[in-house]
Homo-oligomer: A and B are copies of this chain.
Amino acid sequence: VSPSVVSYVLNGGPRSTSVAARERVLNAIRELDYHPNASARGLRFQQTRTIGLLLSTFESSGVFESPYIGLILGGLVGQLKARGYWALVYPLVIGQDLDVLEGLLRSKKVDGVVVRLLQEPHQTHPLLEIIAATGVPCVCIEQPGAERFGFGSVTYDDGRGAYDAVAYLLAQGHRRIGHVGGDLRYLTARARVAGYRRALLENDIVADESLVYCDAWNPGTARAAVARMFDGASPPTAIFAANDSLAFVVVEELRKHGYRVPEDVSVVGFDDIELSREMDPPLTTVRIPLHQLGVRAADLLLEVINDDPAGAVPRSEVLSVELVRRSTA
């Protein structure tokens, strides 16, 4: 029995095989538990069935610790696995690993990448330029890349979520609403403040700048922010936090200062991580379908890789967020 027959059997190859031969091959395969060499196949087919997951971060560590990214990763890796692809994770420190990244792409180690974007299109050019130059199929998540690269993207509407959250607070009668924001290097943090501002504006409320604190996703600063807000002459009656971890800390800090939530102060978060369900009282927050985001990104990428007719034109999906009312507002 010759190599070609084995190949035909294995791949339902371009030629058909006799039942007898197939049997023998199958038996031999089972006996030796033979498995084709991935590198050899990769070399032959020019594809590796591996997808690179480029996880942008500002700090050089800590990507995996975030429950937010964990949710996305779960969807991403799970879906890739279900469709027979492997996931290669690479924590990409912004402004650093670009040369290594180029090596990854040019060496054809991955068939495609999904890249987590944190900033505005023009700031992500250096990164996307490299990806585009290598021609590796790419889907952006969280933030879209610049139009001209033509990469698909799966994002969600930060501004809308923040707007909805604040509009909800306004509808409850709140007029002084504080904001504990995230790290403004993240477009997501900026979009959330913007949504907050827009909601106030549309209700003819002039935003009191002493009530908005954006510094980092850092719990310590969130604590300090609360302390300062309630030091002032007219403290807020509600706080919109840029994410759930921040909201959690805000609730803790309010309690420490003797304020009850939601009786004295209402709090709304963003993301809907597990903590928001488990904390007491459970957090009212803006839910992002993060798992789904991962799943869709995987789907989109595989569509363009296998250029399914549907995927011929790379799509940009904007997942909708939803205010989930629990007990803090």
Question: Do B38 and A219 touch (CB < 8 A)?
Answer: no
7 interchain pairs (CB within 8 A)?
A: A36-B107, A39-B43, A65-B67, A66-B70, A86-B104, A86-B109, A89-B89
In the complex, the chain B residue whose C-beta lies closest to that of A73 is B64
Does A234 have its Cβ within 8 Å of any Cβ on chain B? no
- Indicate if the CB atoms of B43 and A37 lie closer than 8 Å: yes
Beyond A42-B38, A279-B252, is A81–B91 a contact (Cβ under 8 Å)? yes
The answer to the question of A221 belonging to the interface, with a C-beta cut-off of 8 Å to chain B, is: no
Complex CA gap A42/B39 in Å reads 5
Q: Count chain B CB atoms within 10 A of each CB in A90, A108, A109 and give the residue with the most.
A: A109
Interface centre among A39, A66, A252, A279 (most CB of B within 10 A): A39
Do the beta carbons of A107 and B33 come within 8 Å of each other?
A: no
Asked whether, in the complex, the Cβ of A108 is within 8 Å of the Cβ of B77, the reply is no
**Cβ–Cβ contact A64 & B77, under 8 A:** yes
Mark out the residues of chain A between 193 and 236 whose CB falls within 8 Å of any chain B CB in the assembled complex.
219
The reply to whether A108 and B278 form a contact with Cβ atoms under 8 Å apart is no
A35 proximity list for chain B (CB < 8 A): 102-103, 106-107
Q: Which bucket holds chain A's interface residue count?
A: 35 or more
Is A256's CB under 8 angstroms from B280's CB? yes
**Contact present for B74 and A70 (CB under 8 Å):** no
Interface class of chain A by DSSP? helix
Judge whether A62 is part of the interface by a CB distance below 8 angstroms: yes
Instruction: Write the nearest CB–CB distance from A81 to chain B, whole angstroms.
Output: 7
Given contacts A48-B39, A64-B74, A106-B35, contact A255 B280 (CB under 8 A): yes
Q: Does A249 contact B (CB under 8 A)?
A: yes
Alpha-carbon gap, A67 to B81, bound state (A): 22
Determine if A74 and B62 form an interchain contact, defined as CB atoms under 8 angstroms apart.
yes
A308 CB within 8 Å of chain B: no
- In angstroms, Cα B65 to Cα A61, docked, is 17
List 17 additional contacts besides A39-B43, A61-B74, A81-B91; criterion CB under 8 Å.
Answer: A35-B106, A37-B107, A38-B107, A38-B109, A39-B109, A42-B43, A60-B78, A65-B67, A65-B274, A77-B89, A77-B91, A81-B90, A86-B109, A219-B278, A245-B278, A252-B278, A255-B280
Closest 4 A/B residue pairs (Cβ):
A39-B42, A35-B106, A38-B107, A38-B109
* CB of A328 to closest CB in B, whole Å: 13
Cβ–Cβ < 8 Å partners of A38 in chain B: 39, 42, 48, 107-109
